[in-house]
Amino acid sequence: MGNRLSHVDEAGEARMVNVGEKAITRRVCVARGEVLMRPETLQEIAQGTIPKGDVLATARIAAIQAAKRTSEWIPLAHPLPLDGVLVELTPDISGSLGKISIKVTVQAQARTGVEMEALVAVSAAGLTIYDMCKAIDRDMTLDAVELVSKSGGKSGDWQRRESQKKGRAR
């Protein structure tokens, strides 16, 4: 059957995959996550009264910065020149909890995908929101970080189906 994990060699040791012979193709990945918080915390974010500053602007910059430096976070990831990083932060106070939905789209012309760049960007945005608001709400959670879609490369396109959510409530 052979080894199906490309980051592990035949001896079972970690390795960085050689992508030098792969074709350069347009790669696009979308990832998402959310930060759950007290409604009062979300109101303070919206009103701009968080003592550390503009939470959403800072989280957006953190996401972009993290996407560009993913190979420093993830040991076997390749450093990639990114063409674009789009960060969407959507506050929602309609339920019993406040929520900021995070969606990141990463694009590159590369030999390997940008899934990790999108996921790291979502995580960095969520952690930045937590860091900026933890003094008033330590109960916040970063939740449901997941890949939504990817395109490009030899494996082609992939899209998350609703049934792939593994029973998580949204």
Return the residue matching tokens 């952690």.
Answer: 127
Element of type H or E holding 102: strand 98-110
CA distance 52 to 43: 15
Is residue 44 within 8 A of residue 106, CB to CB? The reply is no
How many CB atoms lie under 10 A from the CB of residue 31?
28
Beta bridge partners of 103: 32, 88
Task: Select which of 92, 131, 137, 139 is catalytic.
Answer: 131
- Phi and psi (nearest 5°) for 60? -65, -45
Output DSSP code: residue 95: S
* Residue 131 known to be catalytic: yes
Going from the C-alpha of 104 to that of each of 26, 38, 40, 86, 139, the distances in angstroms are 17, 24, 25, 6, 24
Q: Is 105 helix (H, G, I), strand (E, B) or coil?
A: strand
Q: Which positions are catalytic? A: 131
